A = this chain, B = another copy of it.
Amino acid sequence: MKKIEAIIQPHKLDDVKEALKAIGIDGLTISEVRGHGRQKGHKEVYRGMEYQIDLLPKIKVETVVTDARLDEVTRALSAAARTGKIGDGKIFIYDVLEAVRIRNDDTGEAAL
């Protein structure tokens, strides 16, 4: 099993969710994060104090999939999140040693 972790633009979340649903990926977890990369932030001025805002809001999408579906899901996710502009984000793949469904202690791919 592999974990696909994608850092995406917040406004692409709906597209990503739908793309994953379309290929039958139901299990996913998202969280709000802030990220920094090549994308330039912006300047904010509060009462004469200047702040360089370089941590921009992003959404982290995590989904654990079987090894077999890894490529397909990664591609679908990447395509759905793409706008072609700097700041679109990254996808990182990690190995997952084990998965457990808390409800009934199913393990392995059956738990996904």
Chain B hits for A78, CB < 8 A? 100, 102, 105
Q: Which of B74, B92, B96, B105 touches A93 (beta carbons < 8 Å)?
A: B96
How many angstroms between the C-alpha atoms of A98 and B83 in the bound complex? 21
Q: How many of these chains are in the complex? A: 3
| B-side contacts of A99, CB under 8 Å | 90-93
A74 vs chain B, min Cβ distance (A): 6
> Are A31's CB and B3's CB within 8 A?
no
Indicate whether A43 reaches chain B with its CB closer than 8 angstroms: no
Binding site for B on A (CB under 8 A): 2-3, 6-8, 17, 26-38, 54-55, 58, 60, 64, 74, 78, 81-105, 111-112
